[in-house]
Structure 1
Amino acid sequence: MEIVRDELTPAGSRFRLPSEPGIVTVTPEMASDWLSYRNHPKNRPLSKAVSFKYQKDMEAGRWTEETPEGYIFDTDGWIISGQHRMKAQANSNVTLRMWVFPGEPREIFEVVDQGYKRTAAHLLRVPNATSIANGGRHLAALADGDRWGMPRFSKITTPEIVETVHAWPELTWHVTAAHATSVQAGIPAGAHCAMLAQAARAGGERSTDLIQMWLDGVRTGADLAARDPRLHLRRRFHSGPPTGKGARDLTYALIVKAWNAYVAGETITVLRHMSTEVLPRVTGFDFERKSA
C-alpha cells in the first residue's frame, strides 16, 4: 500500500481514504492504522465489551458488505463513527468489504449513534419475540459447553441470537404456553423455552403430548400430587425468580431438573440446585453432539 500524506490524512496514517463513499476492501492493518491515527480526541472512550461483540460477529462471518454500518470520516480525515468496529476488525484479523464514508461534516458527530438499540426481538418481528429471543440467547450460551454455568450469556450478540433462533424452530412451538406459564406461575419464559426446545428436539413427535401435559400442570397446578416436580417448580417460583449472583444459572437449572424428574416419572420432596453442581442437561439432548 502506497504511503500517502496530504491534508486529509492525519500525520502518521499510512492508508488513504477513498475520495467518494463506497464499498472498500479494508484489511485488519488498515483498520488498526485508522484507529491509531484517525481517532478524533473527542470520540467517546472505547468499550472492550462492545468491540468484542463486534469481533465475534466478524470472526463468525456475520459481517458482510451488505451491512451498511461502516466507517465514517469527517472532512479532515478523522473518525466520526466506527472506532469499535475498527478495533474489532483489527483484533479479529479479518479482511472485510466495508462501506466507507469520507468527507462528512463534523457536525453529524453529535447525532450519529444516538438511536434506540436494535434488539433480536425487533429483528424477529414475531409474536412473543422477546421470549423467543431470550430462549435463543440461552441456547447460544449453553452451546459453548461450559456446564458450570453460562458465562458468555451477556456477550451473545444480536446477530448470534437471530441465527440461533433460525436454527431452532422448536423455540417457537410452545412459546405461547410458556408465556402464559410465566404470567400465571412466574417461571421465566426465555429459560423455559430453551429447555422445551431441547426437549422437543430430543423427543421428536413423541414429546408433544408429554410437553403439553407438563405445560398444563405447571401453568395451573391443578390436581398435582404433593411430590409432583411440576408442583415443586411452581412453588419455587411463586414469590419470584432467584436473585443475586448466579440467578440466571439457578433459574435454568431448576427448570431442567424439574423437567428431567417429570419425564423420568420420579417424585421429589425438594427442588434445589447448588452452586457447586454443574448445570443439568435436558434428558435426551447433548449439545456436544448437537443432536438428540
Structure 2
Amino acid sequence: MTTTKTAALPKALAGITHEIIMITPAMAEQLLGYNDSNRGLRDGVTAAYARDLTAGRWDFNGETIKIADDGTLIDGQHRLEAIVRSGVAAPCLVVTGLPRTAQKTIDTGARRTFGDELGWRGEKHANTLAAVLRRIVLWEADYRLKAGRFRPSEAEMDAALEAHPDARNSAEFGDSKGSAAVLSASQMAFAHWLLTQRDAMSAAWFMDRLCDGIGLGPGHPVLALRDRIRRERDAHRGTIGAEIALALVITAWNAVRSGNSVSKIQLPKGGLSAESFPTPR
C-alpha cells in the first residue's frame, strides 16, 4: 500500500477561517453595511433568491459569504440582500480573513447554466428543456413580454419540472422539429408545451402541420402562420423574437379552434402588450 503526504498549508492561509452560520436578516443587514467594493446589485438575482427563501426552496450548496481581513464584505451580497428582503434566515458558509486582493478572482470563471445542471443529471435535450422551464415559470407568473427584473431561479425551474414533467416531451419535440417549422428549438418546444396544456391531441396535429404543412388548403390558419413566420425571418435576418413567434402561433391556434379561415396572421393593432397578448383557447 502506498501513502501520500498532505502538503502543509501556506502561511498566508493561517488567518483564514470558515464556519457555517445561520444568517438572520439582522445579521445580513449588518454585513451589508461593510459592502463598499462589490459590483452593482442585480435586482433580478436578489428577487429570485428571496422568492426561493420565502417558498422554502433554498438549498445550502456550500457557496460562501466572503469577508476580507479588514472586515469588508467581498462576496455574497445578493444572498445577504435576499435574506433581508425575505425576512428568512438561511445557513451560509462564511469565510473570514481573506486578503482584499482575493476579490479580483471571484466570479471570473465560466458560469454554469441550468442547462448544464440538467445535463449533469442525465436529462435529455437539456438546454432546450431549461429554456422551456424558464418560459413556463414566466408564463405562470403572468409575464408575456419582457420579464424586466423577474429572473426565474433554478429552484423555481426545478419546481416547474416537477409540476410539468411533460416539458421533457416538448423539449424533445423542439429539438427534433424546430428547424422544420422555421422556429428555434426553444420557441417550438414552449409553444408545443403551452398548446398541449389546452388540448393534447389537437396540439399534436397543429404542431405537426406547422412543421410539414401537409394537407393545408387555402385559408387555413396554419398555412398562413407558416407564411408569416417565413416573412418575419426574412425581415429580421433569419431570426424571430420569442414573444412575436409565440403570439403568432397562439393567434393561428385560436383561429383553428374557432374554425376561422384566414389569409394572414396578424398581431394586435398597436403591437403586443401585456393586455393584448393572446391566450390559447
SS in 1 for 2:230: coil
Preserved contact between residue 192 and residue 207 of structure 2 (Cα < 8 Å): no
What do the CA deviations read for 1:104-149 (whole angstroms, capped 9, x no partner)? 34343222211222222111113322222222222211112366x4
Please tell me whether residue 49 in structure 1 is matched to residue 44 in structure 2. yes
Name the counterpart of 2:167.
171
Q: Which residue of 275, 278, 281 maps to 2:276?
A: 278
Structure 1 residues 184 and 146: CA distance shift in structure 2, 3 A: closer
Scaled by the length of structure 1, what TM-score is found?
0.75
Q: Which residue of 103, 111, 116 maps to 1:109?
A: 103
- Letter of the structure 1 residue corresponding to residue 216 of structure 2: L
Structure 1 residues 99 and 142: CA distance shift in structure 2, 3 A: same
Give the whole-Å Cα distance in 2 for the aligned partners of 1:106 and 1:255.
Answer: 53
Question: Once the 2 structures are TM-superposed, how far is the Cα of residue 30 of structure 1 from its aligned partner?
Answer: 0.6
Question: Once the 2 structures are TM-superposed, how far is the Cα of residue 20 of structure 1 from its aligned partner?
Answer: 4.2
SS in 2 for 1:181: helix
Structure 1 residues 214 and 157: CA distance shift in structure 2, 3 A: same
Provide the aligned C-alpha RMSD in A. Answer: 2.8
Name the counterpart of 1:183.
179
- Letter of the structure 1 residue corresponding to residue 152 of structure 2: I
Preserved contact between residue 172 and residue 189 of structure 2 (Cα < 8 Å): no
Give the whole-Å Cα distance in 2 for the aligned partners of 1:186 and 1:233.
Answer: 11
Name the counterpart of 1:289.
none
- Letter of the structure 2 residue corresponding to residue 31 of structure 1: A
What do the CA deviations read for 1:159-205 (whole angstroms, capped 9, x no partner)? 322321232112121333323432123223334323322333343xx
1:17-166 aligned at under 5 Å gives the runs 20-36=17-33, 38-39=34-35, 41-64=36-59, 66-125=60-119, 126-145=123-142, 149=145, 151=147, 155-166=151-162
Name the counterpart of 2:229.
237
Preserved contact between residue 44 and residue 150 of structure 2 (Cα < 8 Å): no
Preserved contact between residue 182 and residue 189 of structure 1 (Cα < 8 Å): yes
Give the whole-Å Cα distance in 2 for the aligned partners of 1:174 and 1:31.
Answer: 41
What do the CA deviations read for 1:13-68 (whole angstroms, capped 9, x no partner)? xxxxxx942221111111111111x22x433233333333332332332223x221
Scaled by the length of structure 2, what TM-score is found?
0.78
Preserved contact between residue 187 and residue 234 of structure 1 (Cα < 8 Å): no
Corresponding pairs, count: 255
Unaligned runs of 5+ residues in structure 2 are 1-15
- Letter of the structure 1 residue corresponding to residue 209 of structure 2: G
SS in 1 for 2:166: helix
Preserved contact between residue 170 and residue 201 of structure 1 (Cα < 8 Å): no
Give the whole-Å Cα distance in 1 for the aligned partners of 2:79 and 2:49.
Answer: 6
Unaligned runs of 5+ residues in structure 1 are 1-18, 284-292
- Letter of the structure 2 residue corresponding to residue 270 of structure 1: K
Preserved contact between residue 178 and residue 215 of structure 1 (Cα < 8 Å): no
